[in-house]
Amino acid sequence: LMFPKVSLHLVVIRLDEKLDDKPKVRYLVAGENTYELPENLALSNLQIIERTCELAEATRISSEDGFCPWVMVIATHLDCECPEESLKEKNRRLQYLVDKYDCILIPKSGDEVIFAMNAMAPKGQERDEYTRLLQQHILQAPKVHSKDVQVPARWMLFHLELSRCSDEGVVEKSVCLEVGDRIQMHEDDVMNAVKYFDSVALLMYLPNKLPDLIFTKFDPVVSRLSEVLAASFTRPSAGPLGEDRRKLRTTGILRKKFVEELFRGKFNPHPFSVDMFFALLEYLRISDQIDKDTYFIPCVLPLDDPNPVKFVTECSPVLLTWCKNVLPQGFFPALIVQLLRRKSTPCF
């Protein structure tokens, strides 16, 4: 969901920081609310680069059609390099990524991983030149390949018209059929187009879970999920919602009433309601329903020190591996949700 197959991910670091420094990260939700991540969630600049490459590589390995995301490292503050670790030293330390993630990483050159620039340059010729060079470098990178796909012109027109139908990024199936009818497409042709654009991540359609909704953007899903995740690491406030926030961050328990209050006035409930949001979280194995109005969402739980844990010694451990050294982010929370849903023995 977060790493479409055809995408470019820019990891931005500062040259006045070292690769092992933990940058101060602020979490921006829906372009409005800003939250500061707790220190125990912080990763170093190097870890952020590595995690992004791992996710892109996991997507590439699982791709069956040859498409894959790309990653590029950009560094700002070229005019104030860190004296303890120069740009040259950073490039030397990151060189191993070129070999390890050759298919998805776009380096600046053979011995330079980082595309360095002065992001604080005043608006004008200098900034425009940085923009031009960056665009040119991406377009000319040998790894960024194109693939000719035969798509009916009417389908492309349909996708364009559908994107204009909702600023919220989600439309009802009936609206899709109306758009298709206006450009003389039959219902079967409309749904074939929707399924195709879903397969190349230009929209999202989940016929088995939300058959009457089509997401023309990922924003409705990502923004709502971001609000829930941000609520898990902000300090609890007084009142009933404060108690719900405390339970969320300590036990992973998420109440529907809390989400309704969290979303109130921030998102248009039509046509993507709170019930549909929870249905989507269950479908994506992000949460599992405990009772009628309560859900468990394990991905919000904080990391714990494994050393004091007493492991069971009476049985053999389970070893999980996935495509060499790459493990998709979110794998373990999804595994927990899947195990909780088991109806046969052993039950969890």
pLDDT score, position 8: 82
pLDDT score, position 41: 59
pLDDT score, position 303: 66
pLDDT score, position 190: 94
CA distance linking residue 226 with residue 277, whole number of Å: 12
Residue 138 and residue 144 in contact, taking contact as beta carbons nearer than 8 Å: yes
pLDDT score, position 159: 92
Please tell me whether residue 219 adopts helix, strand or coil conformation. helix
pLDDT score, position 92: 93
CA distance linking residue 128 with residue 121, whole number of Å: 10
The CB-side HSE value for 146 (13 A sphere, CA atoms) comes to 6
Please name the helix (run of DSSP H) or strand (run of DSSP E) that holds residue 8, with its range, or none. strand 8-14
pLDDT score, position 264: 82
Collect the ranges in the chain with pLDDT lower than 70: 1-6, 25, 27-42, 62-67, 119-120, 142-149, 235-240, 303-312, 317-329, 346-348
pLDDT score, position 328: 61
CA nearest to 299, candidates 281, 274, 315, 320? 281
What contacts 338, CB < 8 A, 6 or more positions away?
A: 285
